Chain A
Amino acid sequence: MSVAEDIANEPGRSFERGVANSVLHIDDVHKSFAGLHALSDVDLDVRQGETHAIIGPNGAGKSTLLNVCVGRLKPDRGAVVFDGTVLTGKQPHEINQLGVARVFQTPEVFPDLTVLENVMVPALSKRDGHFRLNPFKSFARENHIRDEAVSVIESVGLKAQLSDMAAAMSRGDKRRLELAMGLIQHPRLLLLDEPTAGMARHDTNATIELLKQIKQGGMTKVIIEHDMHVVFSLADRISVLAGGRIIAQGKPDEIKNNPKVREAYLGEEQV
């Protein structure tokens, strides 16, 4: 049994230093680029099953935080702990195998593969682990995985493009494909980097509906988002990041009424 399955089957546990039910614990993370503090003293807990939105003005350090979580960047200080496992210093594929999937801000799909193949590849890695030498296992006979991939693709609304090359898709469709690639892995934690950016309004609403459905499945999600409509429709709790620091945390209503947040952020963007 793979590590990912191991974790996926386990009920939420508490991490000794964090809040009860914490799945993702970001502990005092610092990151600076050439003297510029992108993140300082960031402490954050994401609870089992919740949808946690991270908002903040441009350049607040949201994407940096996400990159630290998935191992793309190494923090100068502090640690990211996922379900009792320290993620800091781990390879991206190891982090994914632990059950953390990421949906990229700029779509990063496999342009030379079809939509179906794009979704089947992450499903295979979920089932087979980070490396399995199965040189003669026919890809076309992976019926189980294909059926599942088709149903996920259907749920994001790309059924008609099943055998299209991903390179030929529109940007919005690529984002939905990204989402499907994340969802098929049934991750314990899904990190979404602006999942609706660049989408038309009705597509945005469809995506919100989809994410709401998954929420009922108990998947923990962290969303970075600009669109307040999306944030307030989905988030259980919100953290506000400004100037690399967390300035507020709480339920959507609390955040709405928090004067510090209004000053730092909501002042510029009317809700």
Chain B
Amino acid sequence: MEKNTALKDTILFVGFAAVVLCLPIILEPIGANYPDLLQKIAIFGIFAIGFNILFGLTGYLSFGHAAFIGVGSYMTLWSFKLLTMNVVPAIIFSVMLAGVFAYLIGYVSLRRSGIYFSILTLAFAQMCYSLAYSVLTPITNGETGLQTRAIRTNPETSLLDADLRVIDQAFGVQEVGVPTTNFFGMAMSGYTGFYFCAVLLIICFFIAQRLTRSNFGMMLKAIKSNQNRLNYTGIHTRPYLIAAFVISGMYAGLAGSLMAATDPIAGAERMQWTASGEVVLMTILGGVGTLVGPVLGAGLIKYAEQKVSSWNEGILENFFSFLPETLQHLMTNIGSLFVGEGWHTTLGLMFMIIVIFLPGGIMEGIQRIANIFKRKSGDNSKGASAPQPAE
């Protein structure tokens, strides 16, 4: 039995890695194979996998994970500004700092459960967001956002407007203007950037898979199932919860770091609670508690975001051109609520539809369809009725 599981996991992992690495080819037919989008899919995939370790396994719904994205982004930018444009130290520092933040926030928030936990995490994230815009502007550069600059020539200049890059300078790197971020010389833009993120995504997936299948993962599932009983079984649940929170915070920190690495600017808007909400949506859209689901959800949402927000009324008019003119106008007007600037309306609507009709997400949908086919091939009697909606 255990060999069976291990084999299945290996197949899943290899399949996942293959799909991720071939994404540029797979997504070509739907015109989504440009590097910027691919990078986003991989980065948000990491974010969602990490979020799922907390929400999917323990059932604790955090509404403050965007804070760790922010922490990761700012830390990465400071690493670029002070040390080197190489992304490796930036990523390491970001993940570690996000872990520290997650420990502090988790230590306090996890004293409560249920909706109290959600509100506490939300309060902490909002706190970070407000601080980034107010007191912490010397670190975050407020609304302008933190950016990489040219090397400082005048010691009077604020570090927000000029960089040091001590390590790069020590190695005598010549800079013309503001240099690009790199991984030992390979620029982090375009397909290189995507493959860098993709490899990290695969590693993250592997870690998440091992975690899920481990004793630790089993304890987390038991917490979701019946935390009280687990206490009477001799398990102290809080350290497990804190560990899960820290791990998922580190995933978020990594995602934030990669956002800054592929596009070296960091702003506080990444920490807004709508950003926390977005990752929740990705996770439930794909399937809470599944391994592949969150990545699938992240990919779909980022793809939809790019597509839908690039549409405009002209495209809609063309689309509805088969209709009579008045109807065409009507449909265009209704449609324009949801495209372009209205992308968030679509997002909110998707959120509702998924929660109402498919709480298990796409993975559950696939499961249901698979079950129908199984039953149909099994016996062709009338038993193959529509699946019951999960209430």
A196 is an interface residue with CB less than 8 A from chain B? no
A108 with B213: CB separation less than 8 A: no
**CA of A181 to CA of B225, assembled, Å:** 15
| Chain B residue at smallest Cβ distance from A132 | B215
Shortest CB-to-CB span from B288 to chain A, Å, is: 12
B214 with A136: CB separation less than 8 A: yes
25 contacts between A and B (CB under 8 A): A96-B231, A96-B232, A102-B232, A108-B232, A109-B229, A110-B221, A111-B225, A111-B226, A117-B222, A121-B219, A121-B233, A121-B235, A124-B219, A130-B234, A130-B236, A131-B235, A133-B239, A133-B243, A135-B214, A136-B210, A136-B211, A140-B2, A141-B2, A181-B233, A185-B233
Binding site for A on B (CB under 8 A): 1-2, 5-6, 210-211, 213-219, 221-222, 224-226, 228-237, 239-240, 243, 247
| Chain A residue at smallest Cβ distance from B1 | A140
Residues of A within 8 A of B219 (CB): 121, 124
A96 with B233: CB separation less than 8 A: yes
The 8 closest A-B pairs by CB, nearest first: A96-B234, A140-B2, A110-B225, A125-B234, A130-B236, A112-B225, A131-B239, A135-B216
Q: Mark A46-58, 1 if CB is under 8 A from B, else 0.
A: 0000000000000
Shortest CB-to-CB span from A140 to chain B, Å, is: 4
Given A121-B219, A143-B2, A138-B214 contact (CB < 8 Å) = yes
Binding site for B on A (CB under 8 A): 4, 70, 91-93, 96-97, 102, 104, 108-113, 117, 120-122, 124-126, 128-143, 181, 185
Residues of A within 8 A of B224 (CB): 112
B221 with A112: CB separation less than 8 A: yes
Given A93-B231, A117-B218, A130-B236, A135-B210 contact (CB < 8 Å) = yes
| Chain B residue at smallest Cβ distance from A111 | B225
Shortest CB-to-CB span from B46 to chain A, Å, is: 17
Shortest CB-to-CB span from A103 to chain B, Å, is: 10
Residues of A within 8 A of B210 (CB): 135-136, 138
Shortest CB-to-CB span from A98 to chain B, Å, is: 9
Shortest CB-to-CB span from B80 to chain A, Å, is: 31
Shortest CB-to-CB span from B246 to chain A, Å, is: 10
B226 with A139: CB separation less than 8 A: no
Shortest CB-to-CB span from A66 to chain B, Å, is: 12
Residues of B within 8 A of A111 (CB): 225-226
Residues of B within 8 A of A130 (CB): 234-236
A125 with B235: CB separation less than 8 A: yes
Residues of A within 8 A of B222 (CB): 110, 113, 117, 121
Residues of B within 8 A of A4 (CB): 234
**CA of A108 to CA of B226, assembled, Å:** 8
B235 with A139: CB separation less than 8 A: no
B234 with A139: CB separation less than 8 A: no
B6, B215, B240, most chain A CB atoms within 10 A: B215
Shortest CB-to-CB span from A145 to chain B, Å, is: 9
Residues of B within 8 A of A133 (CB): 216, 239, 243
With contacts defined as CB atoms under 8 Å apart, how many contacts are there between chain A and chain B in the complex?
A: 112
Residues of B within 8 A of A122 (CB): 233-234
**CA of A109 to CA of B232, assembled, Å:** 11
| Chain A residue at smallest Cβ distance from B216 | A135
> Can you name 18 extra interface pairs (CB under 8 A) apart from A135-B214, A140-B2?
A92-B231, A93-B231, A93-B232, A93-B236, A97-B234, A109-B229, A113-B222, A122-B234, A124-B215, A124-B219, A128-B215, A130-B235, A132-B215, A135-B243, A138-B215, A139-B218, A140-B1, A140-B6
**CA of A78 to CA of B213, assembled, Å:** 45
Residues of B within 8 A of A113 (CB): 218, 221-222, 225
Q: Choose among B2, B5, B214 the residue that contacts A137 (Cβ–Cβ < 8 A).
A: B214
**CA of A94 to CA of B252, assembled, Å:** 33
**CA of A92 to CA of B230, assembled, Å:** 9
Residues of B within 8 A of A126 (CB): 234
**CA of A108 to CA of B213, assembled, Å:** 24
Given A93-B235, A113-B225, A121-B230 contact (CB < 8 Å) = yes
**CA of A96 to CA of B232, assembled, Å:** 6
Residues of A within 8 A of B232 (CB): 70, 92-93, 96, 102, 104, 108
Residues of B within 8 A of A128 (CB): 215
Residues of B within 8 A of A120 (CB): 218
Shortest CB-to-CB span from B17 to chain A, Å, is: 18
**CA of A122 to CA of B232, assembled, Å:** 9
Residues of A within 8 A of B213 (CB): 138-140
**CA of A97 to CA of B309, assembled, Å:** 56
A109 with B226: CB separation less than 8 A: yes
A93 with B226: CB separation less than 8 A: no
Residues of A within 8 A of B225 (CB): 110-113
Residues of A within 8 A of B218 (CB): 113, 117, 120-121, 124, 139
Residues of B within 8 A of A139 (CB): 213-215, 217-218
| Chain B residue at smallest Cβ distance from A166 | B225
**CA of A143 to CA of B5, assembled, Å:** 14
Shortest CB-to-CB span from B291 to chain A, Å, is: 15
Shortest CB-to-CB span from A263 to chain B, Å, is: 36
Residues of A within 8 A of B221 (CB): 110, 112-113, 117
**CA of A125 to CA of B239, assembled, Å:** 14
**CA of A162 to CA of B247, assembled, Å:** 32
A137 with B215: CB separation less than 8 A: yes
Q: Choose among A91, A140, A181, A185 the residue that contacts B236 (Cβ–Cβ < 8 A).
A: A91
Residues of B within 8 A of A129 (CB): 234
Residues of B within 8 A of A92 (CB): 231-232
Shortest CB-to-CB span from B252 to chain A, Å, is: 18
